[in-house]
Chains A and B, each alone.
Chain A
Amino acid sequence: MPERRLQAENLHLWRGDRHVLRGVRFCVNSGECLQITGGNGAGKTSLLRTLSGLMYPEEGTISWCGDNIRRDLAAFHADLAYIGHEPPLKPDLTAQENLHYWVGVRRKLSSHEMNQELSRLGADQWGDRPVRTLSAGQKRRVALAGLLLMAAPLWLLDEPTTNLDAEGQRLVGTLIEEHLARGGVAVAAIHHELTISAAFIRRLELSSK
């Protein structure tokens, strides 16, 4: 199993005159999930966006497998799957079409693979319905199918269990555990504890001061 490591060193991020991230540092290895907690406005989403390379910290470095992510951002992004607050789905396309275009841009995708993951997420019954007709929880399940299909070793998840019922939340825990068991790394900003084994978990609490 290849050893992977996501490391942040002394991250400082300002948004206007607000010092959002103050010297954040952590290291998370293959088979580990970093749970980021903190109140509203503590900077959980900003940290995830900074880790993904979407935002530039004023100070500090982020490295993936020992290399600064800025040295080859495209290669880092090829290893990364990021799901934000809102699933990146087009309301006028069906769930299957959304996955075809979204994931297809990254990697070749067969319909068999897509249907298999949709079915795993319990989303196969509505795969051919326009996304605008789906509930928030159903959309989340489609987005999680996209996450699996991206087959990336690093997952950055912003509130992955939002809008999901209890069974859906357990499923997210199972998916993350399986990902970690395959040598993946996960970082999740959460409000509610993920249902995964404590052995996998590392924690980071952000202060909202």
Chain B
Amino acid sequence: MSTSVIETNSTGTSALEAARLVLARDIRLALRKRGQLVQPLAFFAIVTTLFPLGISPELSRLRDVAPGVLWVAALLSSLLALEFLFRDDAQDGTLEQHVLSGQSLTWLLFAKTVAHWLLTGLPLAVMAPLAGLSLGVPASALTGIVVSVAIGSVGLSLIGSIGAALTLGVKRSGALLSLLTLPLSMPVLIFGARATELAIKGAGFAPPLYLLGALAVLGITLAPLAAAAAVRISLE
């Protein structure tokens, strides 16, 4: 005889535990599908190392364009991975099960977005110093670059989660996702590039960093709610 019980909630999972499970599952899945994991990082490395070949080997010139190159590459790399954020879960019915789990969908999607940042944004921040060095950035600026990319990519993941959720039901959604996400990501690009520029010049880079932090907090507050609403609509 089955041990199944009909009384629910007696051993219900807490919202935090449910979010932890979603996070752990996404990380485990990503580690088993390394190709998807490596793709944005390889793109970032290729773009930032090809630029010196295309512009000039002159370090002073490369240093001038480094903030823009680093941040555009980071933005586009983050965008590459966004398409997969909810797509597989929508196709195999996992998102439906999340909606029907009795847990807060907002929390579960936030956990998925955190996983996306851990697998894309954080590795980009770790790679940024190497890319910076190839662009002639002084070693003293590397800390500023790592911190700004780490904080800025939080905003990029959160903004991207809204776009990924809105384009769930759309076939070949890549172009639409870019159209939706890129304009919203402009403040992150501007403040991130500014923080990097100030770090390269040896000036205080805290003010743009604070703005990046504020954008990340705003994203944490609003993006999961918006993504959850969009997912519900697209599953209908």
Contacts and interface: CB of A to CB of B under 8 A. Distances in A.
Contacts of A56: 236
B92 A90 contact: yes
A84 interface: yes
B100 A77 contact: yes
A75 interface: yes
B8 A78 contact: yes
Interface string B13-39: 100011001101100110011000000
Given A113-B3, A153-B8, A80 B94 contact: no
A54 B235 contact: yes
B106 to A, nearest CB: 11
Interface size class, chain B? 35 or more
A80 B100 CA distance: 7
Nearest to A147: B4
Contact of A86 (B25, B93, B100): B93
A82 B2 contact: no
Interface string A30-56: 000000000000000000000011111
Contacts of B33: 92
Contacts of B97: 82, 88, 102, 105
Contacts of B99: 54, 77
Contact of B6 (A74, A108, A183): A183
B96 A82 contact: yes
B55 interface: no
Interface string A128-146: 0000000000000000000
Given A108-B13, A152-B8, A153-B8, A52 B93 contact: no
B54 interface: no
B204 interface: no
A116 interface: yes
A191 to B, nearest CB: 19
Given A56-B236, A90-B29, A151-B5, A106 B13 contact: yes
B100 A105 contact: no
Contacts of A97: 25, 28
28 contacts: A54-B96, A74-B102, A74-B104, A77-B99, A77-B100, A78-B9, A78-B102, A79-B8, A80-B102, A82-B97, A82-B100, A88-B97, A90-B92, A92-B29, A97-B28, A104-B13, A105-B18, A105-B98, A105-B101, A105-B108, A106-B8, A106-B18, A107-B11, A148-B2, A151-B6, A151-B7, A153-B6, A178-B2
